[in-house]
A and B are shown apart, each in its own frame.
Chain A
Amino acid sequence: MTESPAPETSQPMVRFERVTKRYGSLVVLDELDLDIARNEKVAIIGPSGSGKTTVLRMLMTLEKIDGGVIHVDGEPLTHMERNGQLVRANESHLRRMRGKIGMVFQHFNLFPHMTSLGNCIEAPMRVLGLSRREAEDRARELLEMVGLRDKMGHYPSQMSGGQQQRVAIARALAMRPKVMLFDEVTSALDPELVGEVLNVIRRLGEEHDLTMLMVTHQMGFAREFADRVCFFYEGKIAEQGAPAELLGNPKEERTRQFLSAVLEAS
């Protein structure tokens, strides 16, 4: 379903303004403009190397920005205003902004020396200052939501990929972010485990006020779940629109080629 156009007064949750990212001479993002509304679910698709992961990593402040500005929740992400000028943000500004964003990685990146409960309470206790009790209550609720009530004391090495990824989702949610980033979170999973992770994401979208950006190769999921699909090509958005439209009736030749290649592969 598509959302009605937002009223002009409401700011987008995320705004990329002519954002450029380079690695040496390789331009990975080329003056990218992208607005994402509050609670909007955006799927990012595109060929390998088109800059999809880079978009998420820049939002998570894992990569430095080479040009342009990213705004989150109305504030510049890696810059701050001082005397009417935008200067590079200091650590405390960065940490405040990072608090609004959560990320789930392709390879889970769980802490292997902590149980799933331990993974979920670590940052809430140390970063948000929650007591152990509060953090555990919150973590239990979330682990239950992702269907891992009976795995709280398990270490990552004792769980399947699908279970680990669900712990990773619970861990990110425990920080109560406003924006959630998902980078091909089912790509490292065996096919039979993909469904359980996508179901969790689906429920998240339905039950929580969350702005969600997901890089995915699951076209079926993108079609049913996303409000909008962005097709990336060589560091730019080559085409975007409602899922049914973009996936069913793409206007650009490059989009068509990509989609038929994906179809063939699956």
Chain B
Amino acid sequence: MRALVVCGIVCFAAGLAVAGLPGLRDFLPQLLAGAVVTIEITIGGCAVAVAAALVAAMAKMYGPAPLRWLAVAYIELFRGTSALVQLFWLFYVLPHFGVLLEPMTVGIVALGLNVGAYGAEVVRGAVNAVPRGQWEATVALNMTRAQALRRVILPQAFVAMIPPWGNLFIELLKATALVSLITISDLAFRAQQLNQITFETVKIFTIVLLIYLAISSVITVGMRALEERAARGIGRGRA
């Protein structure tokens, strides 16, 4: 709820800034168009990150040896190198191997895989934090490991995963600024472009700052709400 208040203040401040700065209406549409791209990449990237993290964590923990190795390689590779290099690699190097991807696709996949590598460890930690007795109960009930994971372990791990995932989503949002380096007109790119034309540096970058803050506030509030719902679903917080 505190986040909600923060969000409100941010929007209010943003409104004030817009109203108080003459000439701003001229470049606000451009910035908002950039913001839409940024939001698209954030949403797509988050989806890729969650999927990659789940698959990698499950493979690393329960997969047969080759899959396990693949998962470890993925996690180490993407955690151990910079997101920018990963972006460049997918964008400039893959075409040499005949794989040509849309810039948007590259942005979403690269950032998603980057954050997914961290997310895999979040998933693993949350799964390991589920009490051993829960696993033992599934064995005593003759469930398969897949059934145990899907029906018993992951739903419980889910609650513990939400706050760290909130942080990762915000990391991803911030990293989207990198895609301006592979020809995508995101918020950061538009800002720079406008700045070069209008030299309204203070106004432009203040607005940009506020827009990023607004988006991350939405993520924070959303994840907080999700966490509350999930905690209720698990039978806690009811008593």
Chain A residues near B (Cβ < 8 Å)? 60-62, 95, 98-99, 101-103, 105, 107, 109-114, 122-123, 126-127, 155-158, 171-172, 175
Residues of B within 8 A of A111 (CB): 134, 137, 152, 156
Interface check B239, CB cutoff 8 A = yes
Whether B143 contacts A155 by the Cβ 8 Å rule is no
Nearest to A104 among chain B residues (CB) is B140
| Segment of B23-31, B117-125, B229-237 engaged in the interface with chain A | B229-237
Whether A113 contacts B155 by the Cβ 8 Å rule is yes
Whether B141 contacts A123 by the Cβ 8 Å rule is yes
CB within 8 A of B156: which of A95, A107, A112?
Answer: A112
Interface check B139, CB cutoff 8 A = yes
4 tightest CB-CB pairs across the interface, nearest first?
A155-B235, A123-B141, A109-B137, A109-B133
CA distance A107 to B134 in the complex (A): 10
Interface check B82, CB cutoff 8 A = no
CB within 8 A of A95: which of B142, B151, B152?
Answer: B142
CB within 8 A of B151: which of A105, A122, A172, A175?
Answer: A122
Could you list 18 examples of A-B contacts with CB < 8 Å? A60-B140, A62-B139, A62-B140, A105-B140, A109-B136, A111-B152, A113-B234, A122-B143, A122-B151, A123-B142, A127-B142, A127-B147, A155-B235, A157-B236, A157-B238, A157-B239, A158-B238, A172-B140
Whether B143 contacts A158 by the Cβ 8 Å rule is no
Whether B142 contacts A98 by the Cβ 8 Å rule is yes
Residues of A within 8 A of B156 (CB): 111-113
Nearest to A102 among chain B residues (CB) is B140
Whether A171 contacts B141 by the Cβ 8 Å rule is yes
Cβ proximity bits B216-239 to A, threshold 8 Å, 1 near / 0 not: 000000000000000001111011
Residues of A within 8 A of B144 (CB): 95, 127
Whether A112 contacts B140 by the Cβ 8 Å rule is no
Residues of B within 8 A of A171 (CB): 141
Nearest to A171 among chain B residues (CB) is B141
Residues of A within 8 A of B236 (CB): 112, 157
CA distance A110 to B235 in the complex (A): 12
Whether A155 contacts B139 by the Cβ 8 Å rule is no
Whether B139 contacts A126 by the Cβ 8 Å rule is no
CB within 8 A of B140: which of A103, A113, A114, A158?
Answer: A103
CB within 8 A of A126: which of B131, B147, B234, B239?
Answer: B147
Whether B139 contacts A156 by the Cβ 8 Å rule is no
Residues of A within 8 A of B137 (CB): 105, 109-111
Residues of A within 8 A of B133 (CB): 105, 107, 109
In whole Å, how far is B26's beta carbon from the nearest beta carbon of chain A? 53
CB within 8 A of B139: which of A98, A107, A112?
Answer: A98
In whole Å, how far is B15's beta carbon from the nearest beta carbon of chain A? 42
Nearest to B152 among chain A residues (CB) is A111
Residues of B within 8 A of A112 (CB): 156, 234-236
For A60, A112, A114, the residue with the greatest tally of chain B CB atoms inside 10 Å of its CB is: A112
Whether B143 contacts A126 by the Cβ 8 Å rule is yes
CA distance A99 to B141 in the complex (A): 8
In whole Å, how far is A130's beta carbon from the nearest beta carbon of chain B? 13
Whether B235 contacts A157 by the Cβ 8 Å rule is yes
Whether A99 contacts B142 by the Cβ 8 Å rule is yes
Whether A113 contacts B233 by the Cβ 8 Å rule is yes
Residues of A within 8 A of B235 (CB): 112-114, 155-158
Sample of 5 further A-B pairs with CB below 8 A, known A98-B142, A105-B136: A99-B142, A102-B140, A123-B143, A127-B143, A158-B238
